Amino acid sequence: MSGSIKFKENEIPTKNDFFSLFESTGWNDEYGLSGEELLECLSKSWYMVSAFDENKLVGFGRVISDGKLHALITEMIVLPVYQGQGIGKKILEMLTRQCQKLGIRDIQLFSAKGKAGFYEKYGFTRRSESGPGMELKFKPGKNCE
C-alpha cells in the first residue's frame, strides 16, 4: 500500500467525493441516489473509515449497528485503480476491530458479486442456503400498499 494513503475515522466525506466514489461501483445504476441522499445515509452510520490519497477519497467503509449484538458492513468501496494495494484490507480491519473492541457478537456484510473471496480471506463465511438472510427491495415513490 502506498505510504501516502491516510485513513480517517468517523469523518463524513464531502457530498461530491462520496458520490463519485459510490458511482465508481455501478451500484447507483440500480439505486438512483442523489449526493444529498447518500450523505443522509452516511450521517446514520455507527462507524466509518475513509481512505485518502492526498485530498482524494479513494476508499470507504461503514458499519451500522445496535452497538452490542449486530453490526452490518454496508459499503466497502475502493476506487478500481487503487484496488490490490491493501486499502480494502486496512478498511475492513479497522471496521471489524471497532466492532470487536465493543464486544459485538455478529458482524454481517453485503458482498458485491465476485468479491466474497476477499472477505473469506479475513474470516467471513458465506451463509448456507438453510441459513437466515433475505431482502426486500423497492423503488422510492412506488405505491407500497
Residue 3 sits at φ, ψ, to 5 deg, of -65, -15
CA distance 69 to 99: 10
1 — pLDDT class (breaks 50, 70, 90): low
What pLDDT sits at residue 136? 53
Task: Tell me which residues are annotated as active site.
Answer: 119
Query: DSSP character for 50?
Result: E
pLDDT at 87 over 60: yes
CA distance 57 to 67: 27
Four-residue CA torsion sign, 107, 1, 56, 16? negative
Q: What is the pLDDT of residues 19-63, one digit of tens each?
A: 999 999 999 999 999 999 999 999 999 999 999 999 999 999 999
CA distance 110 to 130: 18
Class of domain 5-120: alpha beta
Q: Domain-by-domain residue ranges, the chain?
A: 5-120
Q: What is the pLDDT of residues 98-144, one digit of tens each?
A: 999 999 988 998 888 888 889 999 998 887 777 666 565 556 655 44
Range list of H helices, the chain = 15-23, 28-31, 35-43, 87-101, 116-120
What pLDDT sits at residue 133? 66
